[in-house]
Amino acid sequence: MKIGIVGGTGKIGEGMAMRLSRIYDVLVGSREIEKAQDTCESCLRYADDNGLSCTVRGLTNQEVVDGADVIILAIPYKHLDSTIAGLHGLEGKIVISPINPMEKHDFFEYIPPTEGSAALHLKKILPESTRLCVAFNNIAGNRWRDIDGELEYSVAVCGDDEESKLIVMDMIDRISLLKSYDAGPLTMSPVIEGLTALVNNIAKCNHMKDVGVRFV
Amino acid sequence: MKIGIVGGTGKIGEGMAMRLSRIYDVLVGSREIEKAQDTCESCLRYADDNGLSCTVRGLTNQEVVDGADVIILAIPYKHLDSTIAGLHGLEGKIVISPINPMEKHDFFEYIPPTEGSAALHLKKILPESTRLCVAFNNIAGNRWRDIDGELEYSVAVCGDDEESKLIVMDMIDRISLLKSYDAGPLTMSPVIEGLTALVNNIAKCNHMKDVGVRFV
């Protein structure tokens, strides 16, 4: 199975690439292919230094969509519309949204679009046959990037296509100590996305860093 | 400090009464005083059987408001308006809302009122000087009632009055193994309330029982 990371050169995207490329064929995408190739260099160097195998290629976002079975949209909400408008061939693909529309003033605030969440907005602008899942929303970029550290978090996964949800959950359970949980249909996405604002505020108000969630 | 539980005869209210009456003077309220007194009997019998001390009295909801410093609204959302309309003297009191407006069809769904959450609605109908905090939303009634079991959960607390938030957090940290976290202002209440629908769906979809949350 080939995993594509659209926007794979940000902090979260690069951390995902480094962790996933030990397990899967990973295609890292960027608007600027050189940046994607830099990220791949980092992955390969780290793997080499640590005696790990690693399969990763740096491509454009469109080439990632063309080549991958599962596509993670590791982009900020503000670039979502323009990124999707610039891509074709998403029909039938599994797309994962870890996107949280959020603003920071005195506190972090969850600011969903009129559809109710980034994912519900995304559902409207993606082809009907795209199999959209929400996952990875509540893990801090710093934790992804700290690749020597384990990720001991729960990951809530929601979506309306049961088969793709199982594929995504199986993928999550192979990454570090992550544990996936089926959270029901895509209508649960507002809570999962909003939870990121909550854990960010908890970090801020309680002098903690990179707070995540475990369901117990 | 006297803790009042309005609606203290439901599953959550009774469990709260049993656990809190070991630590605080607890006033249990109900629309029917006999029910409140039955709950107190249960608390006293359990304490007696287990060699624990316990201070608890069964009263009407209005007597609870009159006598308590901190008032927990352990009532379903559908009774919120009529309960508040029937009470007076809430000025200056600390009021805790663990209320989650939620419906269950195929899945649990968070259905907040137009203000955005039960707590934001409550803020509108309470006297301006009432010090409203949101807490205890994500702990299942079964866990409260299982008083021999520890509650090993995180409790997100939000509110706009910093002093009352500290009092509520100190109270939480004395109950079993609960750990309180300041989650910021009352505008975070939609996420905290919605999280209950999420953990309920996670329980349902993953064949688990009484799922709660830990922030890590």
The yes-or-no verdict on residue A150 having pLDDT over 90 is yes
Nearest residue, CB atoms, B215 vs list A108, A156, A199: A199
* Residues of chain B scoring pLDDT < 70: none
Name residues 36-65 of chain A within 8 A of B (Cβ). Answer: none
**Closest chain B residue by Cα to residue A157:** B202
- Give the distance from residue B198's alpha carbon to the nearest chain A alpha carbon, in angstroms: 6
pLDDT for B11 = 86
Bridge pairing between strands B131-134 and B108-110 = unpaired
Q: Chain B: nearest CA to A1, how far in angstroms? A: 25
3-state secondary structure of A91: coil
The structure tokens listed for B23 are: 């630590």
Mean pLDDT value across chain A: 96
Contacts of A191 in chain B (CB under 8 A): 110, 191, 194-195, 197-198
Q: Do B205 and A192 touch (CB under 8 A)?
A: no
Do residues A85 and A62 make contact, with C-beta atoms less than 8 angstroms apart?
no
Q: Residue A58 and residue A145: Cα distance in Å, rounded?
A: 18
- The answer to whether residue A110 neighbours chain B at the CB level (below 8 Å) is yes
Q: Say if the Cβ atoms of A194 and B194 lie within 8 Å.
A: yes
Task: Please determine, for residue A176, whether its predicted confidence score (pLDDT) is greater than 90.
Answer: yes
How far is Cα A186 from Cα A161, in angstroms, rounded to an integer? 9
The string of pLDDT tens digits covering residues A93-148 is 999 999 999 999 999 999 999 999 999 999 999 999 999 999 999 999 999 999 99
| B chain contacts of residue A181, beta-carbon cutoff 8 Å | 202, 205-206
Q: Does B67 touch chain A (CB under 8 A)?
A: no
Show the tokens assigned to B106. Answer: 């195929």
- A37-80: per-residue pLDDT in tens? 999 999 999 999 999 999 999 999 999 999 999 999 999 999 99
Place of tokens 């590791």: A74
The type of residue at B158 is C
Whether the CB-CB separation of A141 and A211 falls below 8 Å is answered with no
pLDDT-derived band at A10, boundaries 50, 70, 90: confident
* Minimal CA separation from A125 to chain B, in Å: 24
Cβ contacts (< 8 Å) between B206 and chain A: which residues?
181-182
Residue A11 banded pLDDT, cuts 50, 70, 90: confident
Q: Exposure of B177 by Cβ count < 10 A (0-12 exposed, 13-18 middle, 19+ buried)?
A: exposed
Would you say A71 and A24 are in contact if contact means Cβ atoms under 8 Å apart?
A: no
- By the CB < 8 Å criterion, does B194 face chain A? yes
Q: Does B109 touch chain A (CB under 8 A)?
A: yes
Report the amino acid identity of residue B28: V
Nearest chain B CA: its distance from A71 CA (Å): 24
CATH node for B2-205: 3.40.50.720
Which of B191, B211, B216 is nearest residue A212 as measured by Cβ atoms? B216
pLDDT value for B10: 87
B162 closest CA partner among B94, B69, B70: B94
ipTM of the complex: 0.96
- What pLDDT is stored for residue A143 in this prediction? 95
Give the contacts of B6 (CB within 8 A, at least 6 positions apart): B29, B61, B64, B65, B71, B72, B73, B74, B75, B83, B87
Please give the pLDDT value at position B8: 82
Q: Is the pLDDT of residue A8 over 90?
A: no
Q: pLDDT tens digits for B32-74?
A: 999 999 999 999 999 999 999 999 999 999 999 999 999 999 9
A215 touches chain B (CB under 8 A): yes
Domain boundaries, chain A: 2-205
Q: Does A183 touch chain B (CB under 8 A)?
A: yes
Burial class (CB in 10 A: 0-12, 13-18, 19+), B212: buried
**What distance in Å separates the CA atoms of residue A167 and residue A3, rounded to the nearest whole number?**
12
B 115-174 residues with CB < 8 A to A: 152-153, 156
Nearest to B17 by CA among B37, B31, B33: B37
> Is B54:B21 a contact under the CB 8 Å cutoff?
yes
Q: What is the DSSP string of chain B?
A: -EEEEETTTSHHHHHHHHHHTTTSEEEEEESSHHHHHHHHHHHHHHHHHTT---EEEEEEHHHHHHH-SEEEE-S-GGGHHHHHHT----TT-EEEE----EEESSSEEE---TTSSHHHHHHHHS-TT-EEEE--TTS-HHHHH-TTS----EEEEEES-HHHHHHHHHHHHTSTT-EEEE--SGGGHHHHHHHHHHHHHHHHHTT-SS--EEE-
